[in-house]
Amino acid sequence: MNRPIRRISVVAMVMFALLLGNVTYSALVRYNTWNADPANNRVRDAQFGQDRGPILAAGQVPLAETEPSDGRFDYQRVYPTNPELYAPITGYYSYSYGRSALENSYNAELSGTDDSQFLSRVIDSVTGETPTGATVETTIVPAAQQAAWDGLAGRKGAVVAMNPQTGAILAMVTTPSYDPNELGTHDNDDASEAWTSLNDDADRPMANRAAREIYPPGSTFKLVTAAAALESGMSPDDEIDSPEQYTLPQTNTQLGNETNCGGDRVSLDQALQVSCNTAFAGLGVDLGAEALQAQADKFGFGTRPLPDLAAVASQFPDDPNGAQTALAAIGQGDVAASPLQMTMVTSGIANGGVVMDPYVVDTVRADDLSVLRQTQPQERSTAMSSENADALAEMMVHVVESGTGVNGQMSGVTVGGKTGTAQTTEERPPYAWFTAFGGEEGNPSVAVTVFIEEADIERSDIAGGRLAAPIARDVMEAVL
């Protein structure tokens, strides 16, 4: 063989080696990326033509499942159980508009394409069996979910309930909501009409107000300020100034109180019970913005919890001046939090200062019921010492026993809570908040946050204790 032929042979061998390497790399590395690409029509058609796994609530209640279909595809995704109630959890699965919530974050498992299901896919291909997706079992308690929905009664708002000891999400409701069946239909015209209607709706029914929206938390943020005070060395009995009017630093603006604080100086415990604005504003300035920022961060502000539902980060203002710090200390100004975040704050206090990582999926099972994935509770952070957490939890119990949160009381159950009424603009009524924990004394098993965006009643009648606390009580009763 002469030299030119040898050279051509070597070049050909190298090219074949590179080609084989690229094919191997594509099959092993790029496979999942290509499968996940929503523009990949071949994969999308294949997934819509197979038996997608179900999504279940606690007690094996089906939230999403797949039925045989005589339509465009062999199977139809349906949401059989109160679809509007569970839409923030399941999300939608649409041919034209993709996926959201658990339908998106667990798409690989539900469609049977996850790496953990590789062996099952091989067996199915050999035996000729139709591939079946995995089952996603959530932590949602249907009774608590229904109680939250009934309590909101169609008003704009959200409810989140969580087990403070594990981080398991027990309920997550947002209103108004939508029916994911309308987007999952195989009729593209009907799906398009539903999509347009939902996105044009000024009430934003597809918005997850529980985890993906942030709002001024009002006086519920005083829990963070109180935590910073206790961590700085204060005790619940230490007295702080509580004037009728507080002049915001570097301004002539006067901040007043919505309630009688009980005197010009009151204990930290008393200030929380009656939600004294001037006391907490001055306390926040004395502690300083850095201390408040650090305490908020320890509870999870600035991070994105619950990635399964694409939750957003709550925020504390960067480098606030004196006036902004005073407003931040009472949950006004540029502080913004999701109901999920405030549930994490309450859970951390109830759990001895330890904030658990929130999660909504308990188990993922293959079609033979074997466990593919099991969520193990994880500590997210230590927000405060156990001694100070217990002290603050006791202060929250006093709020419910004899303060602004009396409407959250439950017979035979220890309940601690904090009300909040957050001012927004002069043109609209304030937001109503209530965050609470409940259970055996010293061992709370549920934390709940209720947020009401629009109550449709007179401005003077809105308060977190009046509107939101009874809803939290009903949700806790459903869990306990």
Same-domain check for residues 240 and 341: yes
Cα angle for residues 114, 30, 117 (degrees, 5° grid): 15
Peptide bond into 217 cis (omega under 30): no
- The rounded distance, in Å, linking the Cα atoms of 389 and 351 is 8
CATH number, domain with residue 70: 3.90.1310.10
For residue 85, tell me if it sits in a domain. Answer: yes
Whether residue 281 sits in one domain with residue 191? no
In a domain, 473, yes or no: yes
For the ranges 9-23, 196-210, 293-307, 407-421, which has the lowest average pLDDT?
A: 9-23
Tally: H helices and E strands in the chain: 18, 19
Domain shared by 468 and 426, yes or no: yes
13 vs 269 pLDDT, higher one: 269
CA distance 48 to 325: 52
Same domain, yes or no, for 410 and 262? yes
234 pLDDT exceeds 50? yes
pLDDT exceeds 90 at position 214: yes
Q: What is the pLDDT of residue 42?
A: 64
Domain contains 233: yes
- How many structural domains does the chain have? 2
Would you call 76 helix, strand, or coil by DSSP? strand
Asked, for residue 12, whether it belongs to a domain, the answer is no
Tell me, yes or no, whether 296 and 415 share the same domain: yes
Residues 58 and 120 in one domain: yes
Domain range holding 132?
44-138+168-200
Q: Could you tell me whether strands 61-68 and 246-247 are parallel, antiparallel, or unpaired per DSSP bridges?
A: unpaired
List, in order, residues 6 or more apart from 477 with CB less than 8 Å away. 147, 410
Question: Is 130 or 356 the better-scoring residue by pLDDT?
Answer: 356
Q: Is there a contact between 337 and 377 (Cβ–Cβ < 8 Å)? A: no
19 is a domain residue: no
Say if residue 309 is in the same domain as residue 455.
yes
> Would you place residue 12 in the very low, low, confident or very high pLDDT band (cuts 50, 70, 90)?
confident
The answer to whether the beta carbons of residues 397 and 309 sit under 8 Å apart is: no
Active site residue 219: yes
Does 127 have pLDDT greater than 70? no
Judge whether 277 lies within some domain: yes
Measured CA to CA, the distance from residue 315 to residue 293 in angstroms comes to 9
My answer on whether omega of the bond before 180 falls inside 30° of 0, hence cis, is no
Q: Which of 100, 105, 111, 219 is catalytic?
A: 219
Q: In this structure, are 180 and 252 located in the same domain?
A: no
Digit-coded pLDDT (tens) for 71-102: 778 889 999 989 999 999 999 999 989 999 99
Task: Say if 151 falls within a structural domain.
Answer: no
- Domain for residue 367, yes or no? no
Looking at every residue in the chain, the average pLDDT score rounds to 88
- Higher-confidence residue of 132 and 155: namely 155
DSSP state string for 164-191: TTT-BEEEEEEES---THHHH-S-HHHH
Instruction: Specify whether 339 is located in the same domain as 301.
Output: yes
Closest by CA position to 115, among listed 92, 134, 90, 94: 134
**Distances from the Cα of 153 to the Cα of 150, 452, 468, angstroms:** 5, 11, 12
**CATH number reported for the structural domain that contains residue 434 in this entry:** 3.40.710.10
Q: pLDDT-derived band of residue 163, with 50, 70 and 90 as boundaries?
A: very high
Domain match, 347 and 454 both: yes
Tokens of 409: 């009381």
| 330 & 442 share domain | yes
Instruction: Compute the distance between CA of residue 390 and CA of residue 367 in angstroms, rounded to an integer.
Output: 45
Q: What is the pLDDT of residue 247?
A: 92
CA dihedral in degrees (363, 378, 436, 63; nearest 10)? Answer: -20
Examine the domain organization and report whether 231 and 318 are in the same domain.
Answer: yes
Q: State the Cα torsion 113-116-120-126 to the nearest 10°.
A: 70
**Strand pairing partners for 138?**
361
